[in-house]
Structure 1
C-alpha cells in the first residue's frame, strides 16, 4: 500500500512556491513521490502517517567540502588564499582515508539533522565520501578534486574519475544516492590543458563538472589578464558546453553573467563563507534576472563554520537586499526555492528539490511547536513562509526521509550514532593539530 505523509502544511517547492493546506505526500515502493497535493484530492487507499507542522523537500547544498568538519575553526581569521596555503592545505596533507570517512559521516549527519538531504561535495578520497553517505542514508553529488599541486598529478586524478564512472556509472546506490562528477578545483589551480581535458572527458560521459569560479578578487589575475575572465576561459576550453556548476561566482562582470546564462551553467551561491572570508557578495539579483540557475552552498565547515543551509537561505536574501538597497530583491519564497528547487536546477537535476510526482521522496518535516509559529498556521501564505524562513530556520527539523526511507527521527540520525562519530572526529582532529 502507498505510504502517505499528511500534514497541515505542505510546501511542494513548485515555481510559485505554493502553500498547500491539509496536504499529503504519497511515496511509492521505489521511494519516489506518487502524489503531492491537497488531502481531499489524494488518490486511492494509503497507509497514512499524520504529522504536525510542515512538510517540504529536502534542501540541496550545492557546494560543500563536508569532511572539513575535522578542520573546523582552524585559521578562521585569515583571508582566503593565506588560509588555504598556510593552514588548510598543510593540515589536509596529514589526512588519512579513514579520517575523511569519519569527517564525512559527521558532516552528513549534521546536514540531515538540519533538513539537507543532498550535498555537492569536492574532496580527497572520494570513495570514502560515497561510503559515508551510503551509511548515513543521505544523497550526494561528489568528485575527488582534480588539482595541480606539488606531489599531486592532475592527470592521474582525471583518470581515476574516468575509471570510477566507467565502472559504476554516473549514479548508483539505493535510490541513486550517489552521483559522480568531475571536481576540477579552479582555473587558477589547473593549467589550460587540464581544463580542456576535463571538459572533453566529462562531456563524453554526460557528467557534471564542479569548479570554483571568481571566489576571491585576486585569485585569477593571470587568467583574467590572458583570457579576459575565468568564464571566458571556461567557454574557450569547452567546459561551458556541458553540465557545470560554478561555486561562489562572486567576482563576475555583466558579460560573465550573460555568458553563464547563455550556456546554462549553474551557480552555487555561498553567502556565509564568502562573508566570513571577506571574499565579497555575489550578484544574486543579477544572476537570477539573467536566468542563471542558482542554488545555495555552505562551502566547507572550516570556512563557514557549519553546514546549516537554512543560514544560507537567510543570508542570501539579506545580502541581496543590502547590496541592492531593495527590500524586495529576494523574498522569503525566493530564498526557500534557492535551497530546494533552485539547487536541483543548478546541479542539472530534475529528480530532487521538489515534491513532484516522479521525483525522489526526499522529504523534511518541520515541527511548529516553537515561538516562531506562535501566531499559528492559519495565517496568510506569505506570513507563514516568512515565519519559516526568517524565524524558524532549521531548529525544528524533526523527521527526514531520503528516497522514501526515514533517516532522521525526532531530530536524530537513524542509521548512525552521532555521539560516537563526534568522538572519532575529535580524536582525528587532535592528531591533525599536532
Structure 2
C-alpha cells in the first residue's frame, strides 16, 4: 500500500514549471503522500523503485472520442462537415457495443503508453467505455453523447442515460453529459442538459465554434453567436467545458470568462481539418481555464498529447508573432495541471501531496535530454525535444499499467488485430 519512487527529477506540472531535482515521491493508498528532494525525505521502509529518468504527472486529455480508432485515417482531406456526414456518422451507425468496447480498450492502452492517464470521452455506449477503462487501469470522464442520429435513442432517452449513470461514478470512472453541439442538438435539449449537469454536479462537454461556418444558421435565426445562445438558454454554469472554441470574438470570450467555462484546446485536430487556430493566449490572459485535448483519433490522427502540447505552443507563437506567446512550462502545464483544472479535477494533473498518484516515467538517458545546464532545461526538453516514445513506465493510483513501454493489463497485439478486423467491416458497410 506504500511505495517510494526516486528519480533524477520530478516535474510538478504547475504553471511555473517547478522541477525538483534528485527527487523522492512517496505513494500511499493511491495518493501522493510526500514529494521533494531526497535529502529532505522522511524515513521510510516502503518498497522502493529507482527511476533513472524524470517523473512527470499523468497527462489529462480534455477532449477525446477514443473509440474512433476504428476510423483512423478515413475521410482524409475532407472538411469537418463533410467528414462527419459522409464518412463518420454513416459508419458509426453500424457500430456494435462490442466494437466500441474493443476500440476503447485499444485506445486507452495507447494513451497510457503515451503518458495520458485520464481522458474525457464523448462517445456512445458509456458503460462499455467505462468497462474498457477499468480493464486497462486508466481513468476517464465518460460523457454520454446527446445527438440526433438514427439508432441511438431520443434526446430524452440519451439524457436520462447520462443522469442515470451519475450514481456509478467513482475515482476511476466519472460519468458526464455530452451534447454534441448547438447545431445538432435543439436548444431546449441543451438547456435541459445544462440544468441536469448542475443538479448532479456532472461535467458537461460540448463542441463550440469549431469551424467558421457551423453556427451560420443559428446566427441567421437568432442573431447572436453560439456562446451567446448557450448563455441565454441557461446552458452554462456548473462544470462546463467547450471543445475547440476556435472562432470566438471578444464578446464570446467574455461570456466564457463570466460563466467560468473551460476550453478543450485541440490544435492537432483543428489543423488537420483546417478548422482554424484558437485564440489561446487571449483565453489564458482572460483567466479562462484551458486544457489540451487530442479530439478523436480519426481527426488527429493519434492520441499523443506530447504532440498536441508542442503544436499548441507553436501555433500560439505563430498566431501572436511572439516567441513568448506560450512558454514551455505553460505548454506542459496545459496537458497536466491546467487540464485537470479545466475538467474540475483538482486531484489530478500535478505531482503534489494529496493528489492521485498518476505518474509517468520519461527516459532521460537520450540525446533529446542533452544538454541540461539548469533545471528549466528539463521542461524545455519535455516540450520541444522529447516525445511519447520516451515514456517508459506509467502508474495510475500507484498501480503500474505500463512497464518498459508495454501494457501490463491488456494484450495490445490482440487488440490491434481486433481493431483491424472491425474497422474494415465498418468501412465496407
Shorter-chain TM-score tier: over 0.9
Contact kept? 2:17, 2:376, Cα under 8 Å:
no
Aligned to 2:163: 162
Aligned to 2:49: 49
Contact kept? 1:149, 1:189, Cα under 8 Å:
no
Tell whether 2:373 aligns with 1:356.
no
What secondary structure, in the 3-state scheme, does the structure 1 residue paired with 2:162 have? helix
Tell whether 2:204 aligns with 1:209.
yes
Residues 227, 382 of structure 1: alpha-carbon distance in 2 compared, 3 angstrom cutoff = farther
Q: How does 1:159-308 map to 2 (within 5 A)?
A: 159-166=160-167, 168=168, 171-172=169-170, 176-225=171-220, 226-308=222-304
Return the alpha-carbon distance in structure 2 between the equivalents of residues 13 and 207 of structure 1.
25
Runs ≥4 in structure 1, deviation > 4 angstroms? none
Q: Report the aligned-residue RMSD.
A: 1.2
Tell me how far 1:239 sits from its aligned partner.
2.1
Q: C-alpha offsets along residues 375-426 of structure 1, whole Å, 9 cap, x if unaligned?
A: 2x4x222322221211112111000000111100001110001101101111
Structure 2 segments unaligned to the other structure (5+ residues): none
What secondary structure, in the 3-state scheme, does the structure 1 residue paired with 2:352 have? coil
Tell me how far 1:150 sits from its aligned partner.
4.6
Return the alpha-carbon distance in structure 2 between the equivalents of residues 374 and 217 of structure 1.
42
Q: C-alpha offsets along residues 340-370 of structure 1, whole Å, 9 cap, x if unaligned?
A: 0010011011000001111110000001122
Aligned to 2:343: 347
Tell me how far 1:227 sits from its aligned partner.
5.0
Q: C-alpha offsets along residues 193-245 of structure 1, whole Å, 9 cap, x if unaligned?
A: 10111111111101110100000111111223315111111112222211100
Aligned to 2:411: 417
Aligned to 1:118: 118
Q: How does 1:120-159 map to 2 (within 5 A)?
A: 120-151=120-151, 152-159=153-160
After TM superposition, the structure 1 stretch with the greater mean CA deviation from structure 2, 250-259 or 44-53, is 44-53
What secondary structure, in the 3-state scheme, does the structure 2 residue paired with 1:273 have? helix
Structure 1 segments unaligned to the other structure (5+ residues): none
What secondary structure, in the 3-state scheme, does the structure 1 residue paired with 2:409 have? coil
Residues 143, 14 of structure 1: alpha-carbon distance in 2 compared, 3 angstrom cutoff = same
Task: Report the TM-score when normalising by structure 2.
Answer: 0.97
What secondary structure, in the 3-state scheme, does the structure 1 residue paired with 2:142 have? strand
Q: C-alpha offsets along residues 158-200 of structure 1, whole Å, 9 cap, x if unaligned?
A: 011112214x2xx22xxx1101000111111111110111111
Aligned to 1:15: 15
Contact kept? 1:58, 1:116, Cα under 8 Å:
yes
Aligned to 2:91: 91
Contact kept? 1:122, 1:143, Cα under 8 Å:
yes
Return the alpha-carbon distance in structure 2 between the equivalents of residues 49 and 240 of structure 1.
45
Q: C-alpha offsets along residues 246-289 of structure 1, whole Å, 9 cap, x if unaligned?
A: 00000001111111112111100000000000000000000000
What secondary structure, in the 3-state scheme, does the structure 2 residue paired with 1:189 have? coil
Aligned to 2:67: 67
Contact kept? 1:270, 1:296, Cα under 8 Å:
yes
Return the alpha-carbon distance in structure 1 between the equivalents of residues 265 and 76 of structure 2.
20
